Amino acid sequence: MLKNIEELNGMREAGRLAGEVLEMISDYVKPGISTGELDKICHDYIVNEQKAIPANVGYRGFEKTLCTSINQVICHGIPDNNRILKSGDIMNIDVTVIKDGWHGDTSKMFLVGKVQAHNQRLVQITQECLYRGIEAVKPGANLGDIGHAIQTHAEKNHYSVVEEYCGHGIGKIYHDEPQILHYGTANTGQEIIEGMCFTIEPMINLGSKSTKLLSDGWTVETQDGRNSAQWEHTIYVNKDGAEILTLRSEEV
């Protein structure tokens, strides 16, 4: 669904709040804290400070505010009071906030303590993949251009792109059409139109692109046990390209 200016302003506010959660939690991400504690801090902040709704709570049976995906976990990791962060971990925190019915969806990678150089590089290149995907967004381009830009940069750096999970349209509906693949062929797929809102959220693996779903029905890991990284923004297509609705102050 294309957004008019009033709807865009609602999306801007939801996106701003989602980005703010990741900024707020940054100081707490350090060795010795549990992912369950991080989840509670974010839940309380969204509800009490932002006067907003944590979208993940109760979504398709998910019980937590955040997805906390550590090391070989690609996405949808479940916060747990028994999962203590240790130096060397890399972790994605994924959060979605609902404000006045609108969804803001974003994620960021965190380096915990002293992280090995090859894992730092994976995190950095994955963020570059996100930005390459965003740069491909403009009216008249195609969705395949986004995936092509991401895949090209990942594979040039000898990484693989997860294919089973993708970005999505977003607005009053959390996961809407269109699907935004993070691999693909340039000049193919649906045309990008001014007014669209969707997420771009590449998942990039150190090894094989193959995945496995754990028995909890949520947690997705790399099949080979090697690490994975992910970054996500919600964007709006304007006449010039993409406006990043979940932009954090550190990125400006």
pLDDT (tens digit, 9 = 90+) per residue, 82-121?
A: 999 999 999 999 999 999 999 999 999 999 999 999 999 9
Helices marked H in the chain — which ranges?
5-25, 35-44, 117-135, 143-156
Q: What is the mean pLDDT of residues 200-222?
A: 98
Task: Give the strands of the sheet with 233-237, arranged side by side.
Answer: 176-180, 167-169, 197-200, 233-237, 242-244
What is the C-alpha to C-alpha distance for residues 17 and 3, in angstroms, rounded to an integer? Answer: 19
Report domain extents, the chain: 5-247
Q: Has residue 14 got a pLDDT over 90?
A: yes
pLDDT at 252: 81
- Say how many Å lie between the first and final Cα of the chain, rounded: 28
213: which residues sit within 8 A by CB, 6+ positions away? Answer: 219, 220
Q: How does pLDDT run across 40-69, given as a tens digit for each residue? A: 999 999 999 999 999 999 999 999 999 999
- CATH superfamily, with its number, for domain 5-247: Creatinase/methionine aminopeptidase superfamily (3.90.230.10)
Plot region of 187 (φ>0 → left; ψ -120 to 50 → alpha; else → beta) = left
Q: Which two tokens stand for residue 85?
A: 């962060």
pTM of structure:
0.97
